[in-house]
């Protein structure tokens, strides 16, 4: 069974998670750490999107 989710929302979800992490970690979220989270979350987005193709 497939979920009835617009795949464009996965990117939005990743952005919301990134903002939540930034609010929680504050100064600990240095640019290199932010980039690691960004790459990880967009890998998750790609994996989710691949299920809808």
Contacts of 42 (CB under 8 A, 6+ apart): 11, 14
d(CA 12, CA 30): 22
pLDDT tens digits, 14-53:
999 999 999 999 999 999 999 999 999 999 999 999 887 6
pTM for this prediction: 0.80
pLDDT above 90: residue 11: yes
pLDDT at 5: 83
Measured CA distances, 35 to 2, 12, 29, 32, 42 (Å): 31, 17, 9, 5, 10
pLDDT at 46: 96
Structure tokens at 8: 């464009």
């Amino acid at each position: 069974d497939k979920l009835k989710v617009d795949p464009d929302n996965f990117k939005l979800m990743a952005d919301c998670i990134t903002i939540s992490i930034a609010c929680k970690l504050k100064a600990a979220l240095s640019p290199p750490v932010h980039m690691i989270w960004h790459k990880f979350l967009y890998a998750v987005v790609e994996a989710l999107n691949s299920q809808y193709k």
